[in-house]
Amino acid sequence: MTQSPNKIQSISYPETGNEASFSVEDDSYWFHHRNNCIYTLLTNHYQENSFVDIGGGNGCVAEFLENKGIQSTLIEPGKLAVENAKKRNIKSIINSRLEDTAFEPETFPAAGLFDVLEHIEKEQDFLRQIHKYLKKDGLLVLTVPAHSWLWSGEDRYAGHFRRYSLKSLSQTLNASGFSVSYISYFFSVLVFPIFLLRIIPSILGFNNVLKDNIPIKKQHKINNKLINYYTTKKWEKELARIKMNKRIRWGSSLICLAKKSV
């Protein structure tokens, strides 16, 4: 199912963002670990077989969940991203912003926002829209970038309005009619590299020159065997903690599951 609205409003996201992501998603340690964390958290709390990925870009998460047996609908306003998603053979794609779809209120049993909320200027208004479409006790799964002190030119380029803490994300969700069932940092090993490659160059006025000199495909691959072994073990520990509903104390991103409460 593919639908196209008459008009798709602008979003705070670079035009080249989806194409750059599409070139690395299938082989990226970052996307692979994020998908595993999302699936692990979702299956801890959700037994149904229908899921809506809102602003899901090229369909990286939707495809992963479909391969795991969870029927997924991708709602994505970007035309290029939708074309990329079609290449992944995702069955249900809606080329639209959420507010322009024809869904009835209380339709979704569960929905996801995966590195989307930070692109929305009026975040609570957007969350309340999602709240309207979720069924009673419906679930919302989110990932967002963490720590305001990790803010850099990379965030500005990506169209971010903010980075989050455990407290700020929880407060935002609570104010939008959700209760937080689980929230944790993840990507614990990436905090130092982000600080080295983004924050220090920004402080020194080099405009992320260290990171910009590394091709995007190399940024998403770990070729050193020792580093790969170490990070693999860290990913496994993070997944184990999420599976046990235990919090990871440190990380460059947040993962959260919230329930529609009012």
pTM: 0.90
Instruction: Write down all domains in the chain, each with its CATH number in brackets.
Output: 2-260 (3.40.50.150)
- CA of 163: how far to CAs of 158, 166, 218, in Å? 12, 10, 24
Looking at residue 72, its pLDDT comes to: 97
Q: What share of the chain is helix, strand, coil (3-state, %, to 5)?
A: 45, 20, 35
Q: What is the pLDDT of residue 208?
A: 53
pLDDT value at position 9?
41
Chain centroid offset of residue 207 CA: 25
111 by DSSP, 3-state: which? strand
Q: Give the pLDDT of residue 86.
A: 96
Predicted local confidence at residue 214, as pLDDT = 55
| Location of structure tokens 């679930």 | 139
The pLDDT value recorded for residue 8 is 35
What is the mean pLDDT of each successive set of 10 residues along the chain, which is 262 residues long? 40 74 91 98 94 97 97 95 95 94 95 97 96 97 97 88 98 98 97 85 63 61 84 96 97 98 86
